[in-house]
Amino acid sequence: MRTAIISDIHANLIGFRAFLDAVERLSVQRTLCLGDIVGYNPWPNECIQIIRDRSIACVMGNHDRVAARIEDPDNFNAPARQAILWTRSVLTEENRDFLAGLPDRRVIDDSTIMVHGSPRNPDEYILTTKNACENMVFMKERFGASLGFFGHTHLPGVFDLIHESIPIYEGKTSLKETSVYLINPGSIGQPRDGNPGVSFLVYDNDEKTLEFFRVSYDIDAVFEAIGRKGLSPYLGKRLFLGV
């Protein structure tokens, strides 16, 4: 089966549509989302509705949790806090309930786990080889998983437990059955690796391959929409830089 893995849509409908257009040409059987459907950008209801209409399996991100009023945005910076409080004010009751019902993690295909932050903590940022390896050992021992997909950092990359590496891929690579992996597809709605294009990957569990993709989209239109909603212009400016 070929599976598209996405994360951190962050209410960027135009970026999300660019992904949807691209994935139609990639012979994908399903899409999985690693959380943070909302936050930062001005189309939370529209993005949630696509997830619901297409029955895309998803886990809960930290912005989803705050938007659903499960937590308050105490540790958000000022632009993020403004955006998530605005998001709360416009979410439909049905979409708020949908976010509130998302799980912190899902185990799929017996040996694969999908999370937002990390296998051991939904809010943990996996940024170093050390905490990646600790989490790979944890997910193998706790869930019997040799493959994990995570988001939260907005940085595409692959952690390999045996080789302890973090290459950033824009292409296709094969996974070794003898290793354990944690893999981040990057962000649909707010890339932070210096490349402003929508980032996602396709995993083929028959061939045991990953392929990373980047897709350009109309950032100017997102920037203008952010301004129309009265959100911080900083949120739009960073989209042009991919930071």
How big is the chain by its Cα radius of gyration, in Å?
A: 17
Express each pLDDT in 182-196 by its tens digit. Answer: 999 999 999 999 999
Number of domains the chain is built from: 1
Q: Is the pLDDT of residue 166 over 60?
A: no
8: region left, alpha or beta (phi > 0 left; psi from -120 to 50 alpha) = left
pLDDT (mean) for 205-224: 96
**For the packed helices 78-90 and 233-241, what is the interaxial angle rounded to 10 degrees?**
110
Give the closest residue to 40 by CA, choosing from 243, 240, 235.
235
Q: Across residues 71-92, what is the average pLDDT?
A: 97
How far is it, in rounded angstroms, from Cα 184 to Cα 153? 8
- Side-chain-side CA neighbours of 134 within 13 Å: the count stands at 10
pLDDT tens for each residue of 109-154: 888 999 999 999 999 999 998 999 999 999 999 999 999 999 999 9
Q: How far apart are CA 36 and CA 9, in angstroms?
A: 6
pLDDT at 45 over 80: yes
Partners of 199 in the β-ladder: 214
Average pLDDT of span 163-186? 81
DSSP three-state, residue 35: coil
Domain of 28, CATH number, reads 3.60.21.10
* The pLDDT value given to residue 164: 62
- Residue 82 to residue 159: CA distance in whole angstroms: 33
**Stretch (H or E) spanning 147:** strand 147-149
Q: Find the domain containing 9 and state its range.
A: 2-241
Three-state secondary-structure class, residue 173:
strand
Residue-wise pLDDT for 59-68, tens only, equals 999 999 999 9
DSSP H helices in the chain? 13-23, 44-53, 62-67, 78-90, 93-100, 129-143, 219-228, 233-241
> What pLDDT score was predicted for residue 71?
96
